[in-house]
């Protein structure tokens, strides 16, 4: 399947709306009682909740899952549909509001779909993680498995960048964001958990994604508490 037919990103108007949503979310964060731990989810449409009612998206479902397990936590949605690693880097600074304690970095899917040189993607993610380290913010880096569309060398370079960067920066690693529903490499098994585009999880799919990544996010919260 070609990149254009299963891109995570929405059209430009959708991206603008998503960005506006992020600004609004960050702006309202200070108007409510502060949670013990505040996580920033920096990502693309998989984080943003493309095609879903707001309450069914990744961030609200993750926050609810964590709270149900006794965590006093707020998760800020800094996902923008269509964003690449370069886009995530460009908006990192303004996304890091003062209350943020740790960051989930879910980027690279759109780089993959556009065939961007993995070296460029790695450099952008490296810059993001470097900035988080400098600010003393623990990070959870999530990846996606690359298909073979661009050849074996490209695939190996893309797949290797996530564990390499996590090791370099001491970040937590969740290798496949979609592992809870079988991941990109097993579409048939997870078809009932996907939206009509075959790319984005539906509400039940997001639930499975959250159940998969949730324990790793709990590890991220523990790192925050260990710093206190």
Residues catalogued as catalytic? 45, 197, 200
Domain ranges of the chain: 3-227
Q: How confident is the model at residue 24 (pLDDT cuts 50, 70, 90)?
A: very low
Q: What does the pLDDT read at residue 34?
A: 67
Cα distances (Å, whole numbers) of residue 23 to 17, 77, 91: 10, 10, 11
Q: What is the pLDDT of residue 197?
A: 86
CA separation for the pair 111, 119 (Å, rounded): 11
Task: Let me know the angle formed at the C-alpha of 96 by 100 and 11, rounded to the nearest 5 degrees.
Answer: 120
| pLDDT band at residue 19 using 50, 70 and 90 as cut-offs | very low
CA 116 to chain centroid, in Å, comes to 18
Contact by Cβ (8 Å): 69, 5: no
Instruction: Say if residue 4's pLDDT is above 90.
Output: no
What is the pLDDT, as a whole number, of residue 127?
98
Answer whether 125's CB lies under 8 Å from 163's CB: no
Residue 131: how many other CB atoms lie within 10 Å: 16
The fraction of the chain above a pLDDT of 90, given in percent, is 75
Find how far residue 188's CA is from the centre of its chain: 23
> Model confidence over 99-151: pLDDT tens digits?
999 999 999 999 999 999 999 999 999 999 999 999 999 999 999 999 888 99
What string of H, E and C letters represents the secondary structure of 145-194? CCCCCCCHHHHHHHHHHHHHHHHHHCCEEECCCCHHHCCCCCCCCCHHHE
Query: How high is the pLDDT of residue 101?
Result: 98
Query: Which class would CATH give 3-227?
Result: alpha beta
**Of the given ranges (39-43, 176-180, 185-189), which has the lowest mean pLDDT?**
185-189
pLDDT band at residue 23, thresholds of 50, 70 and 90? very low
Q: Is the pLDDT of residue 2 over 50?
A: no
Buried/exposed 151-174: b ≥16 CB within 10 Å, e otherwise: eeebbebbbebbeebbeebebbbb
Q: Kindly indicate the confidence band of residue 154, based on its pLDDT and cuts at 50, 70 and 90.
A: very high
């Amino acid at each position: 399947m070609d990149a254009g037919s299963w891109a995570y990103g929405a059209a430009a108007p959708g991206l603008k709306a998503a960005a506006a949503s992020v600004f609004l979310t960050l702006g309202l964060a200070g108007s409510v009682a502060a949670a013990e731990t505040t996580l920033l989810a920096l990502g693309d449409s998989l984080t943003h909740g493309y095609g879903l009612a707001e309450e069914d998206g990744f961030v609200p479902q993750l926050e609810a899952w964590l709270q149900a397990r006794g965590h006093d936590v707020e998760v800020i949605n800094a996902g923008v549909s269509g964003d690449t690693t370069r886009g995530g880097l460009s908006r990192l600074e303004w996304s890091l509001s003062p209350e943020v304690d740790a960051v989930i970095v879910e980027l690279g899917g759109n780089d993959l779909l556009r065939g961007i040189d993995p070296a460029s993607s790695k450099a952008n993610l490296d810059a993001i993680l470097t900035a988080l380290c400098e600010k003393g913010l623990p990070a959870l880096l999530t990846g996606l498995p690359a298909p073979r569309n661009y050849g074996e060398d490209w695939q190996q370079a893309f797949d290797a960048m996530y564990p390499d960067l996590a090791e370099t920066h001491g970040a937590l690693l969740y290798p496949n964001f979609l592992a809870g529903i079988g991941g990109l490499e097993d579409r048939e098994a997870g078809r009932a958990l996907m939206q009509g585009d075959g790319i984005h999880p539906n509400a039940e799919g997001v639930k499975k994604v959250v159940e998969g990544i949730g324990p790793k996010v709990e590890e991220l919260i523990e790192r925050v508490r260990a710093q206190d």
